[in-house]
Structures are given as structure tokens and as C-alpha cells.
Amino acid sequence: MKDFILNALEEVQNGYSLCGVVDRRARVYPLGSDTKVISTLFEIVARQAVTRYADSTGMQLIEPTKQNHYPDFTLMRDNGDREKIALDVKTTYRKEGQSRFNYTLGSYTSYIHLETEGKNIVFPYSEYGQHWVIGFVYKRAEGKRDTTGRIYSFDTLEQIPIPFNDVEVFMQEKWRIAGDRAGSGNTANIGSINGTLDDFRSGDGVFASEAEFLEYWRGYKRTEQERRSSYSNISEFHMMKAGKE
């Protein structure tokens, strides 16, 4: 699956030159540099590759019907499939002069817990056998954002500035790229490793197994004060486990 989807993404790399939104009168509105807009574009590109894989294997491809539900794509044989595959698309950009980057990998307070495994997720968490991340990372093209308000046509597509370049992609199991600290901000999200593209591609994260990843994040407390009496990183987690044995 991994090789198939990555190969399919190589074939649709022209999608990385998406430059605007077209209305039915063939008017083209240029993209801004908003990260949410750019993330949506990469989801569209990824959908092409995932759809091709589903078609080639006879699997069903299911997308969320509600906003902010995990994952972006579910692959399954049928509704009774207890080994469904979750595919989530993540996008971020490299900061100037830096090769390292990171992502947030979903909530650690909702569907990964057995008692709330149906919360904000397409199917109950226990029905998924695999969880994958399709990760895009790009460089912001400074000065390439259209600020004139101009509306373009198909004849002037080459004149539309594209606000990103140097797009690279990887695909890896979520637990292999998960970090041991929450993501940025106050949201209760799992943070990824902070690494290079090679780090994400190799998947040499902090957890020894998916079971350890789940045990760690199911027990991770939401506030710093709560974590003082339990653990706040993988070393403290291992010390706590050793003390109980």
C-alpha cells in the first residue's frame, strides 16, 4: 500500500502546481498563503492516489461526513471489516533555514480511549487495524502571493503566483512518527517527532511499539500539574513502569 500510494503521488506531482480556484465562468481566483487552504489542496492531491489504491484492491474508500472527524480516508473491505485502514493527511511548511519540522497527530483525549472510541472518528477506533499518515512538507514562496485582487483566466494561468514550492511527501505509520509531548498550543493533540524528512520516512520515533504508543498517550495527562504526578516524557514513563514491576 505504501509504495503504491507514494508512486501514485509521484505521478500526480503536477498537482503541486495548483494555483487557484475556478468558477463556472472560467475565472481563476489565485491562492493565498493561508495554511488551511494549502492543506486542503494537498488533501485533494492525496485523494487521487488513495482512490487509485482502493480501486486496484477492491476496497471501499470512506471519507468523513462530519467536519473534524478522524481520519481523512478509511479503507475497508466492508462494514464488518475489523482491520480497517486509517489514512490521515498532514501538511506543514519548513521554516526558512531549517530542515526540521513537526505535525500534530490527532487528539489524545477522545477516540484512542476505549470508553470514548467512537468520539470524533468515522468508525470506532477498535475497528481500525492500521493508522497511517500521508505527510506533505513545503517551503513558503515569499513574495509569491497575489495581493492585487486580480482575477485570472485560463489564458493567463502562467502568470498566477504559487505561494509554495519544494514540496516533498512521505507515508508512515502514525505510532512510528509520534513524539512524547503534546502538540503546539493548548489543544490536546499528540505531537509528532521534531525531525527531518529522512526521520519521518524512516519512522525511528520514540516508541518501541504501537502498544507502547497507545499506553503512553492513553495515560498522558492534559495539564502540566497533573503530569507532575505521572509522567511528561518517555523517560519518565519508562521509570514509572519500572517502578511498578
Give domain limits for the chain.
Answer: 2-207
How does residue 66 score in pLDDT terms, banded at 50, 70 and 90? very high
Classify domain 2-207 by CATH architecture: 3-Layer(aba) Sandwich (3.40)
Q: What is the pLDDT of residue 206?
A: 96
C-beta of residue 88 within 8 angstroms of C-beta of residue 133: yes
C-beta of residue 17 within 8 angstroms of C-beta of residue 58: no
How does residue 77 score in pLDDT terms, banded at 50, 70 and 90? very high
23 is annotated as an active-site residue? no
> Active site residue: 88, 146, 180, 199, which one?
88
Has residue 17 got a pLDDT over 70? yes
> Active site residue: 3, 34, 36, 72, which one?
72
Averaged pLDDT for residues 103-114: 94
How does residue 14 score in pLDDT terms, banded at 50, 70 and 90? low
> Active site residue: 90, 146, 174, 199, which one?
90
Averaged pLDDT for residues 59-86: 96
Mind listing the pLDDT tens digit for each residue in 32-47? 778 888 899 999 999 9
Q: What is the pLDDT of residue 138?
A: 92
Count Cα neighbours of 136 within 13 Å in the Cβ-side half-sphere.
27
66 is annotated as an active-site residue? no
Has residue 204 got a pLDDT over 70? yes
How does residue 172 score in pLDDT terms, banded at 50, 70 and 90? very high
Q: What is the pLDDT of residue 141?
A: 81
- Nearest to 165, CA basis, from 137, 184, 189, 186: 137
> Which residue has cell 468515522?
122
How far is the C-alpha of 66 from the C-alpha of 121, rounded, in Å? 9
Has residue 58 got a pLDDT over 90? yes
Share of the chain above pLDDT 70, in %: 95
- Nearest to 182, CA basis, from 208, 216, 132: 216
Share of the chain above pLDDT 90, in %: 71
How is residue 156 annotated by DSSP?
Answer: G
Q: What is the pLDDT of residue 195?
A: 96
Residue type, 184: S
88 is annotated as an active-site residue? yes
100 C-beta neighbours (distance < 10 Å), count: 12
Has residue 142 got a pLDDT over 80? no
Give the bridge partners for 60, in sequence order.
76
Has residue 184 got a pLDDT over 80? no
Has residue 16 got a pLDDT over 80? no
C-beta of residue 104 within 8 angstroms of C-beta of residue 184: yes
Q: What is the pLDDT of residue 33?
A: 79
C-beta of residue 72 within 8 angstroms of C-beta of residue 119: no
Averaged pLDDT for residues 41-57: 95
Has residue 130 got a pLDDT over 70? yes
Has residue 81 got a pLDDT over 90? yes
Residue type, 25: R
Averaged pLDDT for residues 179-190: 85
CA dihedral 158, 163, 166, 168 (to 10 degrees): -110
